[in-house]
Amino acid sequence: MLCKRIIPCLDVKDGRVVKGTNFVRLVDAGDPVEAAKAYDMCGADELVFLDIEATNECRKTMCDIVRKTAAEVFIPITVGGGVRKMEDITELLNAGADKVSINSAAIKNPELIREASQKYGKQCIVIAVDAKRNTDKGNWEVYVNGGRVNTKIDALEWCIQAEQMGAGEILLTSIDRDGMKTGYDIDLTKAVCNSVNIPVIASGGAGNKKDFLDIFTISKCDAALAASLFHFGEIPIPDLKQYLFDRNIPIRIAEKEV
Amino acid sequence: MSRIAIIDYGVGNLYSVQKMLECVELEWVLTSDSTTIDSCCGILLPGVGAFKKASEQITSRGLDEILKLQASKGKLILGICLGMQLLFDCSTEDGLSYGLGLIEGMVDLIPSKVKVPHVGWNSLDMTKECKMLKNCKDGDYVYFVHSYYAKPQYKEAVKAVTEYGIKIPAVVSKDNVYGFQFHPEKSGSTGMNIMKNLKEMFI
């Protein structure tokens, strides 16, 4: 049976994990490669590296991080942040990334989705959608540039279009919930999952184990992503996975290294 | 000569598989040269992307004939993901196109009552004894990313399946030709186990 995935997201700036990670004792809490290895050991199903500065210079650093990580960590790696053109995608995939996540650039130029998925296969093209509720219109709108600019585009329509253009997966972040620790945006996630037939990763708002149980029980999402919750050891991934497993969510319980 | 030929036909992202081979101390060479391939103890056919384009690349480089010859000589050939699909007779992806025909059967789109592509960790269900799966057990998780799946003509070719709406062949083999639909190089410790089995078989 296909498992629900638990995905830690590492925000990277200047080649360092922002705010560090301290869920296990790492020699260097800010080293993304060290953090990735630790997450692999504790059963993360996949890793996301998010380049929060995303200049061209940063992408070279990011490629270097991906290359080092992929040499030692044998689970899927997704890289996002500042992916603007085909060359960026090529560089990251060649560095060992399994998937590339595209956000603002896909809104500006949806053809990029088609071009990239035709060249590399849609399985490696993730469309990141940052959505915020518009209470007046009763819908969700897509924001870009790190959640600063409202495109006024309807989030559900955009997800449907992205799927049609060749997206292989949607990384759906609720701006309303991000950092709030009040749970994932179930309504938004449900709405998107019911609109598309590609995997959806829920992101933004997880605060406790039950939030994960709820999003997997109530929506059809395939994966749940969190950042600081994992980095600071508030919820250890093995505990979370056991909790979900005990409640009949299909979860991969990683074998202990001998 | 315990070196593996990774077939070079212009597909990207071979980095992880190369690194995992290194982890189990298997020497590899990325090549499309027939003499080099002939000198290797085994062949790894990788693949991401679409069947049609890949099969065109293989044919245009003359690799189809090389691979068929090597298979007939009894060399161990392992196809991974799209590389496994290419071992079959044909695929319906982007219109009908032909594969290597080393295992009888065809490749078709996963029926869309489930989400396509099939992405994530899914469990193996062993259906036949297979040396590649030594030390693996039913329920072990491996990582899949694919939209098409193999339909072998003879069920003897299917060594393990995974459940995704239908039973999807995860490990296939015929004589010295093997295929994995999943990515061992992305399947953590289970993947590493399988690569160690591979090493034993190659040497």
pLDDT, one tens digit per residue, over B54-93 is: 999 999 999 999 999 999 999 999 999 999 999 999 999 9
Max intra-chain CA distance, chain A:
56
The amino acid sitting at B168 is I
Q: Which of residues 70-129 of A touch B (CB under 8 A)?
A: 70-72, 74-76, 90, 93-98, 118-124
B74 contacts chain A (CB < 8 A): no
A2 touches chain B (CB under 8 A): yes
Query: Does some domain include residue A66?
Result: yes
Domain boundaries, position A202: 5-246
How many angstroms away from the CA of A218 is the closest CA of chain B? 17
Tokens describing residue B150: 């193999």
Interchain contact A216–B (C-beta under 8 A): no
Place of tokens 């692999």: A40
State the nearest Cα–Cα gap between B113 and chain A, in angstroms. 9
A148 occurs within a structural domain: yes
Q: Does residue A170 lie within any of the structural domains?
A: yes
Spell out the per-residue pLDDT of chain A, length 258, in tens. 999 999 999 999 888 988 766 667 776 778 999 999 999 999 999 999 999 887 777 788 899 999 999 999 999 999 999 899 999 999 999 899 999 999 999 999 999 999 999 888 888 999 999 999 999 999 999 999 888 899 999 999 999 999 999 999 999 999 999 989 999 999 999 999 999 999 999 999 999 999 999 999 999 999 999 998 998 889 999 999 999 999 999 999 976 543
DSSP helix/strand/coil, A248: coil
Asked if residue A47 belongs to a domain, the reply is yes
Residue among A154, A159, A122 nearest A141 (CA): A154
Residue A218's alpha-carbon distances to A56, A215, A235, B160, in angstroms, are: 40, 5, 21, 32
pLDDT at A23: 66
Residue B146 catalytic? no
User: What pLDDT tens digit does each residue of chain B (203 aa) get?
Assistant: 579 999 999 876 789 999 999 999 999 999 999 999 999 999 999 987 789 989 999 999 999 999 999 999 999 999 999 999 999 999 999 899 999 999 999 999 999 899 999 999 999 999 999 999 998 999 999 999 999 999 999 999 999 999 999 999 999 999 999 999 999 999 999 999 999 999 999 77
Does residue A252 form part of some domain?
A: no
C-beta separation of B92 from B124 below 8 A:
no
Note the pLDDT of residue B1: 54
Between CA A16 and CA B104 the distance in angstroms is 50
In this complex, which of A1, A72, A257 lies closest to B189 when CB atoms are compared? A257
Residues B121, A3: C-beta atoms closer than 8 Å = yes
ipTM (interface predicted TM): 0.90
B181 touches chain A (CB under 8 A): no
Cite the active site residues of A. 11, 130
User: Any idea what DSSP says for residue A19?
Assistant: T
Please say whether the beta carbons of A168 and A122 come within 8 A.
yes
Q: Is A257 contained in some domain?
A: no
- Interchain CB distance below 8 Å, A98 and B13: yes
Of A23, A220, A15, A5, the C-alpha closest to B188 is A5
Report how far residue A47's alpha carbon sits from residue A73's, in angstroms, rounded to the nearest whole number: 10
**Does residue A258 form part of some domain?**
no
Shortest alpha-carbon distance between residue A10 and chain B (Å): 19
Contact between B91 and B84 under an 8 Å Cβ cutoff? The reply is no
Domain count, chain A: 1
Asked if the structure places residue A11 within a domain, the reply is: yes
pLDDT at A119: 85
Write out the two tokens for A63: 């490629």
What chain B holds in terms of domains, given with CATH numbers, is 3-202 (3.40.50.880)
**Residue A199 belongs to a domain with what CATH number?**
3.20.20.70
N- to C-terminal Cα separation, chain B = 8
Count Cβ–Cβ pairs < 8 Å, chain A vs chain B: 102
Contact A2 B49 (CB under 8 A): no
Give the pLDDT of residue A20.
64
Question: Hey, are the CB atoms on A120 and B19 less than 8 Å from each other?
Answer: no
Identify the pLDDT of residue A257.
47
- Known catalytic membership, residue B81: yes
Q: How far apart are the first and last CA of chain A?
A: 26
